[in-house]
């Protein structure tokens, strides 16, 4: 029986329509090959998705079609000819709902900047270890380290396999490229004291005292609010670290009317423009730190002259706006310049290296490692404010030891 398009429809056994879901068989007029088709849902664009098999004989086409249908029903069938670029776009659309903005950028930038330009045209099912190495080689040629990109690529490919895409398992066996040893290190005691002396001349010098002594992250300091500081708690005062200041990206870049890109389950309080207060990424990020007397006194003096702002930020800009991390970083570099302090390589110390300094001071003062990680927010031991409240004494003792080591009166 010949169809309207010039193909011959196979009729086996009793005449009539084939059972729904069993596909169809026809003979292609152009080359005489037998073609089997089955509808397999819809594509991302909403069009019908059809799976095809071809064979020289009708019997072979039926067998191939039965195998294809079985795989489809078992959830093993997936779209073929999917490229790395196509999957990367789908993958990143999923990850943007799961990761914090910083976490998403860390995952997306290597894929957009290196993976897609290098092997984006390759099909997932045809990837080889050589293709994986090609991404690393492209980065080395540009003088960039390849380890982070390799890890991002492996994570993306494993996600593709979970979705049923045919990724050759051997590509996951490629070893991670070696990274150069990080040059991050702690300042010496003398360097830290020199920076503290310069910072003490600033009206808001408590900002840097807080960072150098407690090792708080930049976002945690800039996101600290006055209602999180209790000057009388426990007889010495304490600060609750529960928010970080971060800008959230707009859904459409530079389009404020598009709203903000907020991941699922991400708690954020909008302040102004793109600035938000966001919750720490883990329970360990929520903690209480005791106030040493110099820190407490510095905060009290600063409270009397601090710029007013509607959000109660402790260290806003002079105009009463949330502080920009670039300006904060520039001030830290200026403090080092005035103090004539610098990294052995000649660069300024990064703000984040203040955490190295704080950790080193605590450990050199003989503080237990569990207390150190609790103060820095790296431990999962402390999971609630109630627990930290009953553990104030070790934290206060730890900070007093550091104060004595730095000769803070």
Please provide the DSSP assignment of 313-343 as one string. Answer: BSS--TTSSPPPHHHHHHHHHHHHHHHT---
64 lies in some domain: yes
317 lies in some domain: yes
Residues 70 and 90 occupy one common structural domain: no
CATH number at residue 151: 1.10.150
Angle between helices 206-214 and 392-405 (to 10 degrees): 110
According to DSSP H, which parts of 142-223 are helical? 147-162, 189-199, 206-214, 218-222
CA distances from 344 to 76, 273, 349 (A): 56, 38, 9
| Displacement of CA 154 from its chain's centroid (Å) | 15
Residues 61 and 128 occupy one common structural domain: no
Per-residue confidence in pLDDT tens, the chain, 409 aa: 444 444 444 444 444 454 545 578 888 777 788 888 887 665 555 566 677 788 899 999 899 888 878 876 665 555 567 899 999 999 998 898 888 888 899 999 999 999 999 999 999 999 999 999 999 999 999 999 999 999 999 999 999 999 888 899 999 999 999 887 878 888 888 898 899 899 989 999 999 988 888 888 899 999 999 999 999 987 788 988 889 999 998 888 888 888 898 888 888 999 999 999 998 766 656 788 888 888 899 999 999 999 999 999 999 999 999 999 899 999 999 999 999 999 999 999 999 888 888 888 777 777 777 766 776 675 443 322 222 233 455 556 666 666 666 666 5
CATH number at residue 351: 1.10.443.10
Residues 233 and 308 occupy one common structural domain: yes
Residues 116 and 158 occupy one common structural domain: yes
Residues 298 and 206 occupy one common structural domain: yes
128 lies in some domain: yes
375 lies in some domain: yes
Residues 225 and 336 occupy one common structural domain: yes
Please provide the DSSP assignment of 14-41 as one string. Answer: S-SPPPTTS-EEEE-TTT--EEEEEEEE
Domain holding 222, by residue range, is: 189-243+280-392
Residues 305 and 373 occupy one common structural domain: yes
Residues 50 and 161 occupy one common structural domain: no
178 lies in some domain: no
Tell me if residue 134 falls in helix, strand or coil.
helix
Alpha-carbon distance of 284 to 370, in angstroms, equals: 12
According to DSSP H, which parts of 229-305 are helical? 293-305
400 lies in some domain: no
193 lies in some domain: yes
Residues 300 and 376 occupy one common structural domain: yes
Closest CA to 371 of 341, 403, 395, 342: 395
Residues 355 and 221 occupy one common structural domain: yes
Residues 107 and 161 occupy one common structural domain: yes
265 lies in some domain: no
Q: What is the residue whose two structure tokens read 């609790």?
A: 374
- Please give the biggest Cα pair distance in the chain: 100
Domain count, the chain: 3
The model's pTM is: 0.67
- Residue pair 61/34 in contact (Cβ under 8 Å)? The answer is yes
């Amino acid at each position: 029986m010949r169809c309207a398009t010039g193909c011959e429809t196979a009729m086996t056994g009793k005449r009539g329509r084939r059972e729904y879901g069993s596909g169809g068989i026809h003979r292609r007029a152009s080359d005489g090959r037998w073609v089997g088709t089955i509808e397999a849902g819809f594509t991302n664009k909403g069009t019908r998705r059809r799976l095809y098999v071809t064979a020289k004989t009708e019997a072979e086409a039926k067998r191939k079609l039965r195998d294809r249908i079985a795989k489809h029903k078992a959830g093993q069938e997936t779209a073929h000819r999917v490229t790395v670029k196509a999957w990367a776009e789908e993958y990143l659309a999923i990850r943007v709902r799961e990761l914090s903005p910083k976490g998403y950028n860390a995952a997306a930038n290597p894929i957009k900047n290196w993976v897609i330009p290098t092997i984006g045209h390759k099909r997932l099912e045809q990837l080889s270890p050589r293709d994986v190495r090609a991404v690393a080689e492209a980065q080395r040629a540009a003088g960039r380290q390849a380890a982070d990109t390799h890890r991002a690529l492996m994570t993306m490919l494993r996600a593709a396999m979970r979705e049923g895409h045919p990724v050759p398992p051997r590509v996951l066996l490629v070893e991670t490229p070696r990274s150069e040893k990080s040059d991050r290190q702690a300042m010496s005691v003398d360097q830290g004291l020199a920076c503290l002396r310069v910072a003490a001349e600033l009206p808001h010098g408590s900002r840097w005292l807080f960072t150098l002594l407690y090792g708080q992250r930049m976002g945690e300091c800039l996101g600290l609010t006055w209602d999180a500081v209790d000057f009388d708690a426990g007889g010495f005062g304490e600060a609750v670290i529960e928010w970080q200041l971060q800008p959230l990206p707009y859904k459409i870049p530079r389009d404020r009317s598009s709203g903000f890109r907020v991941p699922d389950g991400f708690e954020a309080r909008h302040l102004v423009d793109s600035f938000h207060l966001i919750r720490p990424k883990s329970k360990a990020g929520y903690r209480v730190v005791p106030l040493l007397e110099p820190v407490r006194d510095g905060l009290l003096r600063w409270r009397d002259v601090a710029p007013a702002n509607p959000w109660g930020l402790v260290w806003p800009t002079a105009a009463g706006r949330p502080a920009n991390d670039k300006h904060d970083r520039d001030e830290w570099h200026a403090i080092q310049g005035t103090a004539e302090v610098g990294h052995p390589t000649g660069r300024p110390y990064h703000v984040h290296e203040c955490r190295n300094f704080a950790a080193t001071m605590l450990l050199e003062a003989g503080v237990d490692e569990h207390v150190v990680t609790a103060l820095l927010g790296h431990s999962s031991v402390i999971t609630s404010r109630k627990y930290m409240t009953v553990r104030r004494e070790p934290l206060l003792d730890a900070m007093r030891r550091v104060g004595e080591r730095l000769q803070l009166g």
